[in-house]
Chain A
Amino acid sequence: MSAEDPALHGMTAPGSAPGASQGPGASPGEGASPGEGNPVLQVRGLTVHHGQLQALSDVSLSLFPGDVYAIIGANGAGKSTLLRTICGLSRPTAGSIMLDDTEITRVRPERRVAAGIVMVPEGRRLFPSLTVEENLLVGAANARQGPWNPERVYQLFEWMRDRRRQRAAQLSGGEQQAVAIGRALVANPRVLLLDELSLGLAPVVVRRIYNTLPELLATGLTVLLVEQDVSQALRAASRVHCLLEGRTTLEGRPGELSPSRVEAAYFGLADTGANQSGRGGGPA
C-alpha cells in the first residue's frame, strides 16, 4: 500500500477500469450491468494448505469476460497462493475452479495454459539464459489459436523489437516485466493472471505497464491480478477482492467502495459493515 497516496482517501472515480468500456464484449465498468454473461472463471470455496498452515479459507470469486479483477491484501494474506492455485502450481485441499463449464481443479498447469489460463508470475521469472525472442517463442510453443504472436508483442512494446536478441537477464526490471507479459500473451490466453506486477518497479514504469491493459482487454482478454499497491489496483480494476489471512474480507466495484471500507477490510479492523474477522479474533 503506497504510503503517500492521497488517491486512496480522495478517490471517487466510478468505473475505474480505464478503457474497459471501449472494448468489444461486455463492459463491466459502469455500475451493475445485468448483461455480464456467464463467468469465464469461477472459483468456489477454495481452501489451500501449505503443510500445516492454512493459506486460503473458503475463497470464492467469479470472473466475467472483460473484467479486470484485482486481488488486494497485506503480505501473507494469500493473494499469490490464490493465483498459484488457479494456474495449477498449488493444489487445493478443498473447493473447485471452473473455466467456463469445465472443472480444472486437478488439471496440470501446462494443460491449463492450453485451456486458456496463463500467469505472469511474481518476479517476472524470465528464462535468464534465453534471449527476449526465445522467451517469447517458448511462450508460443504450446499456444492456442489467437491474435497474439511475437510480432504483435513487438507492436505493443516497440522497444522490444530492437532488443529481441538480447539475453533476458540483461534487461531492466520494467523491460523484463514487459517481456514476461509478452511471453504470456503469445500463448493467447483467455484469462491472464498478473502476479504483483509492480514489485520492484518504479511507479512511472508500473503506470506505463498498466496503461497497456486496455489494449489487452480489447482483444478479448480477461485479467485477474494481484497487486500490492492498493491505489494502483483501485485505479485499474473493474472489480476488487480483498483478502486477509486467507479469507475474503471485501468484494465489489471500486466505485462502490469507500476508502475507509477498503482500509478496514485490508487491515482487518472492526467494521460496522459485514465483516468481523479482525486480528486477534478467534482461533485460526
Chain B
Amino acid sequence: MRSATETQARHAGERPVRVTRSRRPVAWTGLGAIVAIGIFAYLPYLVYSSTTDLFINVFILLSMASMWNLLAGYAGLVSVGQQAFVGLGAYFVLILAQHGTNPFVALPVAAIACGVVALPVWWLVARLRSGYFAIATWVVASAFELFIQRFPSLGGGTGAPLPGLSGLSPTLLTADTYWAALAVTVVALAVVYLLLRGRLGLVFTAIRDDETAARSVGSHVGRARSFIFMVAGAGCGAAGALLVISQLSVQPSSAFSVQWTAEMAFVTIIGGIGTIEGPILGTIVFFALQQNLSHYGAWYLITLGLVAISIALWARRGLWGFIDERLHIRLFPVGYWLWIDSQPPARRLPGLRRRVRDEPDQEEPPRKP
C-alpha cells in the first residue's frame, strides 16, 4: 500500500497542484499491515485456545461488518437480509461436506456460490426504494430459511452436524479455523480497499453526492450496485462458512437469524459507517462490550442497539469519524487530497457539515436496476 499516486497537474502558468492519496506519506501503513497480519498469524502459538476462539468470532463479525458497510455506507443499500447469505454459505459448506469435500476447501466455493446467488436476488429487489428494499431482503432471507428447512438431509428444522473434521485434534482445528478466519478477513478488507480505491469508489462517492448527476455523466449506477451486492453476498457467505466450521453444526434458525444483520449493522454504525476503518473499530468495541456484558443475556444487544441509534442520530460518522476529524488519520487511504503550492491541505472547512434544520427529506429517485 504505497502512499502516493502523485500527479503533477500542469497549468498554464498558474500555481502547481499536486494530487495525492493521503495527507501524510503513509508507506508505513502498508508495512504496518504486513506486520499486523504477521502478528495475528502467529497468535495461535501464543495464546490459549479459548482466546483463539474469541478471535475467530471477532474476524467473522469483522468480515460481515465490512460487507454491510460496503453495502450501506458506500452503495447506499440498507440490507437487513444479509443473514440470507450467512446461512446460505453455512449450508453450502454443509452440502459439500456431506458429499465428502473438506469443509476448508468448501469455504471459498461456498463464498463464490453465494456471490452467484446474490445476482438473481438483486434482480428481485433492485427496483425497490430503500425502505422497501430493506424489508424485501428480509423476506428473501426468511424464504431461504423456510426453503432450507424442507430438506431432511440438511437436518430440516433442527439442523445438522458438520462432517469431515472429526480427524483433527480440537486445538489444531481451532487454529486452522482461526487461520481461515484471518484469511477471509484479510481478503475481505483488501477487496473492500481495492474496490473503493479504484473507479468504483469514485462512482459511489458521486452517487452519494448526487445520484442523478452521477448517472448523467455515465456512471453505471445499477451495475456498480449489483456488483457490490454480489461481493457482499460472497463475503457474508464466507462468514457463514466460517460459522459452520467453527461450530461444527448448523441450525436454520440461528444461521438465518436476523441477529447477524443486527450485529453487522450496529457494529458498523458505532464504528463509523462509510469508512473502512469503522467496522474494525466497531468490532473491537463490540467484543469489549460483550466480554463485560455477556452474562446479562440479551442486554448486550439492547445496549448495542441503543448506542447505535444514538450514534446514528447524533454522531453520524461514528467513533472513527470522531477520530478522523481530530487526527486526520487514514489507515486505508481511498480519497484524494489536493496540495496547492505545496501547502498541506486545509482542515476540512467548517460549516460544510452543518445542515439547515428541516431540510426536506432526501427524496430518492426511483432506482433503476
Contact = CB atoms under 8 A, between A and B. Distances in A.
- Contact between chain A and chain B defined by CB under 8 Å: yes
Interface of A: 49, 51-52, 90-91, 108
Contacts of A52: 349, 351-352
Contact of B352 (A51, A91, A108): A51
5 contacts: A51-B351, A51-B352, A52-B349, A90-B356, A91-B356
Contacts of B10: none
Given A52-B349, A91-B357, A108-B358, 7 more contacts: A49-B351, A51-B351, A51-B352, A52-B351, A52-B352, A90-B356, A91-B356
A51 B353 CA distance: 9
Query: Which 5 A-B pairs have CB atoms at the shortest separation, nearest pair first?
Result: A91-B356, A90-B356, A91-B357, A52-B352, A51-B352
Nearest to B355: A51
Contacts of A49: 351
Nearest to A51: B352
A49 B351 CA distance: 10
Interface in B325-369: 349, 351-352, 356-358
A112 to B, nearest CB: 13
A174 to B, nearest CB: 27
B13 to A, nearest CB: 20
Interface string B139-182: 00000000000000000000000000000000000000000000
A49 B358 CA distance: 15
A147 to B, nearest CB: 32
A105 to B, nearest CB: 14
Contacts of A91: 356-357
A123 to B, nearest CB: 14
Contacts of A108: 358
Contacts of B357: 91
Contacts of B358: 108
Contacts of B349: 52
A217 to B, nearest CB: 32
B53 to A, nearest CB: 50
A111 to B, nearest CB: 13
B353 to A, nearest CB: 10
A90 B352 CA distance: 17
Contacts of A51: 351-352
A24 B139 CA distance: 67
A212 B350 CA distance: 48
Nearest to A108: B358
A90 B349 CA distance: 21
A49 B354 CA distance: 11
Nearest to B354: A51
A253 to B, nearest CB: 35
A182 B302 CA distance: 52
A108 B358 CA distance: 10
B82 to A, nearest CB: 34
Contacts of B356: 90-91
Interface in B288-324: none
A205 B352 CA distance: 43
Contacts of A90: 356
A220 B30 CA distance: 74
A40 B356 CA distance: 27
B352 to A, nearest CB: 7
A52 B357 CA distance: 16
Nearest to B360: A89
Nearest to B349: A52
A124 to B, nearest CB: 17
A52 B349 CA distance: 10
A85 B358 CA distance: 13
A91 B356 CA distance: 7
B359 to A, nearest CB: 10
A54 to B, nearest CB: 12
A149 to B, nearest CB: 29
B87 to A, nearest CB: 43
A10 B36 CA distance: 81
A96 B356 CA distance: 17
A52 B354 CA distance: 11
Contacts of B352: 51-52
B355 to A, nearest CB: 10
A51 B349 CA distance: 11
A10 to B, nearest CB: 44
Nearest to A91: B356
B302 to A, nearest CB: 35
A91 B351 CA distance: 14
B100 to A, nearest CB: 62
A51 B351 CA distance: 7
B325 to A, nearest CB: 19
A108 B357 CA distance: 11
A156 B280 CA distance: 67
Q: Which of B349, B351, B356, B357: most chain A Cβ within 10 A?
A: B356
